Amino acid sequence: MKKGEGFSPEVLLGVFFAAVALFLLLFFLYKVGFNQASQEDLCRLSVLSRATAPDSASALIPLKCTTQKICLRSSRGTCAESFAGEDSVEVTLPSDQDKAVRIIESTIADSLYSCWSMMGQGKLDLFSRYSSSMNFVRAEPKCVICSRVAVDSDVDPAVLQKVDVRKYMRDNQVPGRDLTYLEAFTDRDFSSYANVDENILNQYSDSAKSLSTGQGRQIAFVFMQIKVKSFSDSFLDLAKQAGTVAGTSFIIAPKTSAAIARVVAFTPAGAISALAVAGGTAGYMYINSKQSQTLAAGYCGAFNTKTDQGDEKGCSLVQAVPYSFQNINQLCSSIEGTP
């Protein structure tokens, strides 16, 4: 062997620069990267990461969404009853009632819109798992609590009675956009989208008024999503996957695969067993699919995000609910994100 052969300077230089570049990347990730990103940016990034991952891997990507706490207070209030021990953003309401009403309305409208926007506007499938997409388990409504708005007890209840979120969302534009809040929710630019009907607008307004009477005077803005795949779609997917597995096994181990195929296809016991497994699986998937659709219909009611992907049913929505564990747990089987 000639001296120096295999250790050319170019190769060594290339490896050295690659190692330096990767070291800098590691340093960035540890020290600089995600620590300084805003909470919203982190949430958006995690939402996009999960939505673009395959179903089998999406569970590995946590949603880095932290519930934002907003305290609406008078000059002396602290929302200690609601947010003691928690970091919160404090918004001081002016003594002028009309101005205070506007601030409350804009806070609620902004909370609703940012929740909807951050979670993908209902266009992203965030909670799908392989087991539920194949109807091996029943689909369940899953949530992220985007934010909680609390009103300090020092704020006059008469102010809250004047709040009209519905009118505010109709008449005011989203900051930075040329659409009103209502138009942004109905998203004139896209054809398949959630419809915010009168019931939902009334609910938003009622929730705001509940701040004057509800326990802790607090409402939560909750993104909920439930997605159901039809039995035909999931069974077809399963059949395709089974075909892929069978084809692959024939390539890797043709003799063994052929022997198994002979047993299954040409012996009574094998054929009956295969049919029983296939039938049982199909039946189980069918039952889960029907139960999931019934559950989704109950949760979604008149509010349905229709997609153009076959018979997929379910919905995505943002709810403004008085913050109690009964209200939230009735809506959400599980909650992700950081409180």
Partner 1 sequence: MNRLGEKISENVVGITVVAIGIGILLGALVIGYYSFTSNQDTEKAKAVLDSLEGKIGVLKDGETGRFIVQGPADWYLLGWNKDNPDAPGRCSLKSCLCVCKERIVKSCQDTSSGLCRTFDAGTLTVKSSVSDGLSPKGLDLPLYTGVEYIQFPKNLVELRVSKTDGGIYIGASK
Q: Which residues bind partner 1 (CB under 8 A)?
A: 1, 5-7, 11, 15, 18-19, 22, 25-26, 29-30, 33-34, 46, 60-62, 64, 67, 80-81, 84-86, 143, 145, 215, 323-325, 328-329, 332-335, 338-339
Cβ proximity to partner 1, 10 vs 96, nearer residue: 10
Minimum separation from the CB atom of position 338 to partner 1 (A): 5
| Smallest separation, CB 254 to partner 1 (Å) | 31
Q: Are 199 and 90 in contact (CB under 8 A)?
A: no
Residues sharing a CB contact under 8 Å with residue 218, sequence separation 6 or more, in sequence order = 82, 148, 149, 150, 151, 211, 322, 323
Give all strands (DSSP E) within 152-299, no chain letters: 218-228
Smaller CB separation from partner 1, 60 or 251: 60
CB of 136 to partner 1, least distance (A): 18
Shortest distance, position 234 Cβ to partner 1, whole Å: 23
Tokens for 327? 């209200």
Cβ proximity to partner 1, 15 vs 302, nearer residue: 15
Q: How far is CA 164 from CA 62, 106, 112, 221, 332, in A?
A: 36, 10, 14, 17, 27
- Considering the complex, what minimum distance in angstroms separates the CB of residue 129 from partner 1? 13
DSSP E strand boundaries for the chain: 68-73, 89-92, 142-151, 218-228, 313-322, 334-336
Q: How far is the CB of 226 from partner 1 (least distance, A)?
A: 14
Q: Give me the residue label for tokens 């039995």.
A: 231
- Give the C-alpha separation, 258 to 266, whole Å: 11
For partner 1, give the closer residue by CB, 33 or 243: 33
Instruction: Kindly provide the b/e burial profile for residues 60-77, where b requires at least 16 CB atoms within 10 angstroms of the residue's own CB.
Output: ebebbbbbbbbbbbbeeb
Nearer to partner 1, 30 or 190 (CB): 30
Tokens 């990103």 map to which residue?
Answer: 37
**Complex with partner 1: residue 85 or 175, whichever CB lies closer:** 85
